[in-house]
Amino acid sequence: MKGRIAVVDYGAGNLRSVENALRFLKADFFVTARPRDLQDADGLVFPGVGEARAAMETLHDTGLDEGILGFIATGRQTLGICIGCQIALQRSEERDVACLGIVEGSARLFPGTSGLKVPHMGWNQVHFRPEDPLFQGIPQDASFYFVHSYYPAPAREEDAVAWTDYGIRFVSAIRKGHFAAVQFHPEKSGPYGLRLLANFLEQVR
């Protein structure tokens, strides 16, 4: 059967809410921390909250970094969430760490200027490329839930698929072929967040 999702557990925070959302959507999924288990999956979800350097260290120690890159290289669908979006880039400014480099660019710290509170926490609008499959059936500029201090800054405009304003206009979703990642938390973003996850599941099938 096609449509099996692997949820990568690399110790980066709590996976419960992602699992709950996938269960609610009746997805066929399993959670794993072992790179070899990824072979059995048709799609990969790569969630996480926390800190980029710690996340990268765990990925490296477990071999999941190579596992994830190998998985993406086979052309299977992958969705990164939050820290999973930031470490898809080449570097993160968070304790200056080399990341997976799936997409050119880096994760940058929000400037704590103009009275804006950091972390950026709460609901904010997402302006997306209407043709992107993840956003099908979602109204343009719908709100999603964010919790983060660093934001993805891809080097090339074409790798960005959504943008959000928080003092600066930052990229809130990226895509490179079958790899997509969102800075917000679809699993906590109400019906539109569930729709985005359902769109991903649809792509995997």
Partner 1 sequence: MLEKRIIVCLDVREGRTTKGIRFRENVDVGDPVEMAALYYEGGVDELVFYDITASHEKRGIMIDVVRRVAGRIFIPFCVGGGIGSVEDMREALLAGAEKVSVNSQAVRNPAIIEEGASRFGRQCVVLGMDAKEDPAMPCGYRVFLNGGRVATGLDALEWARKAVALGAGEIVVNSMDADGTREGYEIRLTRMISEAVGVPVVASGGAGRPEHLVTVLTEGRADAALIASMVHYGEYTVRGIKDHLRAAGIPVRTA
Which among 19, 51, 82, 94 is annotated as catalytic?
Answer: 82
> Cβ 23 to partner 1, closest distance in Å?
7
The percent helix, strand, coil of the chain (3-state, each to 5) is 30, 35, 35
Residue in 117, 130, 156, 202 binding partner 1, rule: CB under 8 A: 117
Residue 17 binds partner 1 (CB under 8 A): yes
**Residue list 65-104, contact with partner 1 (CB under 8 A):** none
Residue 192 is inside which H or E element, if any?
Answer: helix 190-204
Count residues contacting partner 1 (CB under 8 A)? 35
Q: Residue 110 has which token pair?
A: 């929000």
Q: 47: closest CA among 202, 197, 198, 205?
A: 197
Joined tokens for residue 115: 């009275």
Distance separating alpha carbons of residues 106 and 135, to the nearest angstrom: 24
Here's the x/- map for partner 1, 177-196, by CB under 8 A: it reads as ----------xxxxxxxx--
Residue number with CB closer to partner 1 (148 or 176): 148
Considering only residues 133 to 172 of the shown chain, the ones binding partner 1 according to CB under 8 A are 139, 142-143, 145, 147, 165-166
Among 10, 52, 78, 120, binds partner 1 (CB under 8 A): 120
111 binds partner 1 (CB under 8 A): no
C-beta separation of 3 from 28 below 8 A: yes
- The reply to whether 49 sits near partner 1 by the rule CB under 8 A is yes
**Cα–Cα nearest to 48, from 3, 5, 88:** 88
> 78 CB contacts (<8 Å, ≥6 apart)?
43, 44, 45, 46, 68, 71, 72, 178, 179, 180
> Is 85 marked active-site?
no
Catalytic residue positions? 82, 185, 187
Give the residues lining the site for partner 1 (CB under 8 A).
13-14, 16-17, 20-21, 23-24, 49-50, 112, 117-125, 139, 142-143, 145, 147, 165-166, 187-194
